[in-house]
Amino acid sequence: MYKKSYGKESKLSYLGHALVENRNGLIAAAMVTTADGYAERDAALLMLHERQKDRSRRITVGADKAYDTKDFVRTARELNVTPHVTKNEKGRRSNLDRRTTRHAGYAISLSRRWLVEKGFGWLKQTGPLRQVKLRGLEKVDWLFVFSCAAHNLLRLPRLIAQSQPARLKEQCA
């Protein structure tokens, strides 16, 4: 059972989580969990662990201020991931320090966070996720991951078309 806000009724719910790369807005990883207060951060760490398993190079992750917790920032750094999280300084000190926020990449990551909302907007408006007709975590997870793959397949022709003029300019020069 999950409540979206105070005063609202509780509903049986699942949360869909997506890891989106911030250059083109393609969904790199997706999963569904049962809704609870910690599922978003736990799912993010799990997906980051899977992405970093075979890599030695440090990557960055952009996230909103709900991810500005001591355990998320610490665990992300242990996974060789730089957390570009919006600082949450409402009534407390942020868990990010200057070693992360001083770089230009931090501001770029924060400005590109809207790309994840673009994918979720498509999944709810065009895709089948506005009102899921399936029951059970495994079935809902399958539908969510399949819909994310469909979103990527629909984005690819536009991305390829955008890169074609740049290739033609390079070949002509």
Q: Is residue 91 part of a domain?
A: yes
- Encoded tokens for 3: 């409540």
Per-residue pLDDT tens over the stretch 152-172: 999 999 888 887 776 656 666
| pLDDT tens for the chain, residues 1 to 173 | 566 677 777 666 888 999 988 888 899 999 999 887 788 889 999 999 998 887 888 888 888 888 888 898 899 999 998 888 888 778 777 877 777 778 888 888 878 888 888 888 999 998 888 888 888 899 999 999 999 999 999 999 988 888 777 665 666 65
Identify the domain containing residue 94 by its residue range.
Answer: 14-172
Q: What is the CATH number of the domain that holds 157?
A: 3.30.420
What is the number of domains present in the chain?
1
Q: Does 4 map to a domain?
A: no
Residue 32 lies in a domain: yes
Task: Give the three-class secondary structure for 53.
Answer: coil
Model-wide pTM > 0.85: no
The CA-atom distances, in angstroms, between 62 and each of 2, 12, 19, 111, 155 are 25, 29, 9, 9, 21
The answer to the question of residue 5 being in a domain is: no
Q: What is the pLDDT of residues 38-56, one digit of tens each?
A: 888 899 999 999 988 878 8
